[in-house]
Structure 1
């Protein structure tokens, strides 16, 4: 038995020679221009958004989203008319907060209570709930991509915390309501108000604002100007919540 397990001196010598060869190949691979460039591209992809968050804190900077860039790349164009926070109807702001992120004023970018619930659902094998806050949706729109994946969430959460730290809540809401997709090639509150209701973002009624808010999870299927019965019911719930928002919106309206 021991003879079978013994390694001959020749085999030991061959293995010793293989190790430096493997290390040499590894060093050559790491030093190749292609690998260096790939590492730089990945590093830039990971780091650049953090610098852009600081840049976007400047009020006159008007960010565009990855979906807008995709529309331009595919020669489709898009409709987005930047609207300052003061010119967006409070009806829309309240409706979006009550529909998308009721704890917007209370958390620092991530709603940890909701996130713990999602993790527990995943561990239990249950279908997971949505736990994306407005900061998380904003950085996803600006820097990342649609679709569910742990990779995207892993990139999204620290970016949301950073953006919430750098931006005021007002600036966060302003950016979100100017980059959120609200219809095919339609982004932001003003373009959506004109497309769906032939009015401006400043003049949206409570009902119109609620319909736009409930369309946000999927504005291609949920058309604010052509709501089905289910969408109408959701809008009624959001409208009631928005009217009673009270302390939930103190970070924006005092």
Structure 2
């Protein structure tokens, strides 16, 4: 009797367990902080992939245009002025070495030696700025290329931080020869005139392959402010500056100073 009751009780409990509803799974709520962190990590990852990929791509491909060129064109269109941009890419070997040397002599004489940053010049510029003296910045040719090709004009901590990042990338991936090649091609040398080929044709009526040392120095002399200073009608500043650049070119040892720049 007791055995039968026990067995019947077990059967009833088994049936009850069969019809019991399963417990719902408890989903853990994802915290807002975790979501934000995950988003930031993904954004940084994709940005690094895109930026490194673009730097590798433009190591081999001519720069089609820069944001500065786009801004120039849009500004001209908005004001009803002539919006044509004069820009003709020329490879390193199709530009006079005098132009490459002039750019280095005028803008960044330690270019062959440093790794993208001239810390001594940066320190001197900082000290002068603290004293209230108006001096030019200490941006190297590499930094200027990083800004001109991958970023925008203007002053902000975000842009400066990105400039440092791209400066390191192009120093590592491009090499000095490619950096100098890009610089003389995209630098603004007059209103709506970008690069040495367009400037040489406009001012001297000749190809960039054939410009002289003096002509190269004149182009380099207006690089700090090509809208303010003119190659064709040089004012007192340019008239004083380009002879100094030619003397610096000689003092550096001529084109031998940039011979053998790293190309990778």
Same fold (TM over 0.5): yes
The 8 Å contact of residues 135 and 172 in structure 1, kept in 2 or not, is answered as yes
Structure 1 residues 167-209: Cα deviation after superposition (integer angstroms, max 9, x where no partner): 1211111111111111121111100111112111111111111
Quote the Cα distance in structure 2 between the aligned partners of 1:125 and 1:233: 25
Q: 1:89 is matched with which residue: 52, 73, 96? A: 96
2:194 maps to what in 1?
187
2:153 maps to what in 1?
146
Quote the Cα distance in structure 1 between the aligned partners of 2:138 and 2:187: 17
The 8 Å contact of residues 56 and 63 in structure 1, kept in 2 or not, is answered as no
Change beyond 3 A, Cα 1:48–1:224: farther
Identify unmatched segments of 5+ residues in structure 2.
1-28, 78-82
2:192 aligned with 1:205: no
2:217 aligned with 1:215: no
Structure 1 residues 64-117: Cα deviation after superposition (integer angstroms, max 9, x where no partner): 211123245555241111111111111111111000000010011111222233
TM-score norm. by structure 2 comes to 0.73
Matched residue of 1:131: which SS? Answer: coil
1:19 maps to what in 2?
none
Cα-Cα RMSD: 3.1
Deviation at 1:238, TM superposition (A): 0.1
Higher mean Cα deviation, 81-90 or 118-127? 118-127
1:13 maps to what in 2?
none
Deviation at 1:61, TM superposition (A): 3.6
2:54 aligned with 1:52: yes
1:64 maps to what in 2?
65
2:11 maps to what in 1?
none
The 8 Å contact of residues 183 and 219 in structure 1, kept in 2 or not, is answered as yes
The 8 Å contact of residues 196 and 224 in structure 1, kept in 2 or not, is answered as yes
Q: 1:229 is matched with which residue: 225, 232, 236? A: 236
Higher mean Cα deviation, 75-84 or 210-219? 75-84
Quote the Cα distance in structure 1 between the aligned partners of 2:136 and 2:225: 16
Which structure 1 residue ranges, 4+ long, deviate > 6 Å from structure 2? 42-47
Q: 1:178 is matched with which residue: 161, 170, 185? A: 185
Identify unmatched segments of 5+ residues in structure 1.
1-23
Matched residue of 1:231: which SS? Answer: helix
> How many residue pairs are counted as aligned between the two chains?
224
2:26 maps to what in 1?
none
Q: 2:125 is matched with which residue: 107, 111, 118? A: 118
